[in-house]
Structure 1
Amino acid sequence: MSGSRRVRRTPDASAAVASSPWIIVSVGVVVMVVLLVIAIGAYRGRAPVGLVLPEPVATVALPTPTPSVRRAAAEPPAPLAARSTPSATSSPSPSRSAGRGPSPSAGGSASVAPPESALVAPQPVTGTYRVVEDFSRSFIGEVLLRNVSGADQDWTVRVTVPEARLVTSWIEGAAQGGVSRSGDTWTFTSGARLAPGDSVALVFQYDRTRAGRPTSCTVGGADCAGLG
């Protein structure tokens, strides 16, 4: 038919793809490469979860010991006998003395020892006072001294007489000693040592006093007997 038009048909794209399988393979390879690149980039951009790297350990330099320390470390320890610290077994336990504290008696009561201040050591020379004569506002007194020790002794007598004047004083039958005054107190000292068991009399006379005897008399710090 000359009057009819011939239509030219364009080949379909799907048919072209179906007829060329290498095109499909190439597209798949390109897609896989792109996906692989994306996956690798995402893996490198983030750290793995739960992975903790250990912290670096600091290195500490130990000090070099000095020669004195090395010698001390090399020396063996001293034996126990040379050490100054006493052991518990070597030192005896302190024991109480019977005269230092109260000791319980059989009845349950404790006897208390007198204080040390109340204990007075015996004097080697004792003195006894007596009135020889008594006048109006004047008197003559005597202190008899006796050596009760086993050796020769010096002696010192102190006599206190308020508001008085010492007229005279002497030591009977022996070398004369010395005398000094401080206020109302006179101090008499021996001129020669007194032999063991011997006695000597110190005599003195006072006037211008209302007292008929001394208010105080001591020999070596101990009171004279017979004054009270």
Structure 2
Amino acid sequence: MSGMRRAPRPSRGPVAIASSPWIVACAGLVVMVVLLIVALGAYRGQSPMDDGAPPATLPLPQVPGAPTDSTQTPPLSRSSSPVIPGLSPRATGLPPSAPVVSPSPRVEPVVVPTSARPPTRAPQQAPPPPPPPPQRQPAVSGRYRVVQRFDGGFIGEVLIVNASRVDRGWTVRIHFGGGRLVTSWVEGAPQGRVRQFDGGFTYTSGVSVPAGRSVPLRFHLEWAPTTPRGCTVDGVRCGGF
């Protein structure tokens, strides 16, 4: 037995730690507590921040070509809430690219005093046209009518009227365009002179017509129309046809 060697026993330290994991967990917990105590001590040793001082801001990185005015790009503060997609509020201002429209100045109406206004003149109306001159009534006029009709002829009449204030003579010219004059006469007065022509005749009075009076000239025609083509007394057209 004395010649036999004992085998060396293995160390129990690492084996015991490996076989007992709670020992490792407790050691880690102790280390964390120690670190927490050290951190609290270091934090209490710092001077407290002034409540009235503005929070520190982080400078933004400068982008080439971007404006450097702080009014256009507000700095980020520590208290700014993070932007969450779908939940962050939308900006209510104009986009940076929108043009700024300044209100146009108000134009006040110019009031012209009444004394400075030029006097307005009413439009002048054109004077009314002068009335037409009164038609001059002829001194002697005539009116034609048919007294009697019969087969092959008729008896006509021209009533001569003197509208003047003096006695006047007269001449009747009547044209039918055909037919034959049988006879002509003046009722109750001296007879005048008759001159026939193709389709008519001319009768000149033998006595003047008194002022304001009238005399009838009658005639007998055969194969002639009852309506004359023309009838005048002293060159004035007769009426009645």
So what's the TM-score if we normalise by structure 2? Answer: 0.45
Higher-helix-fraction structure:
1
Max radius of gyration: which structure? 2
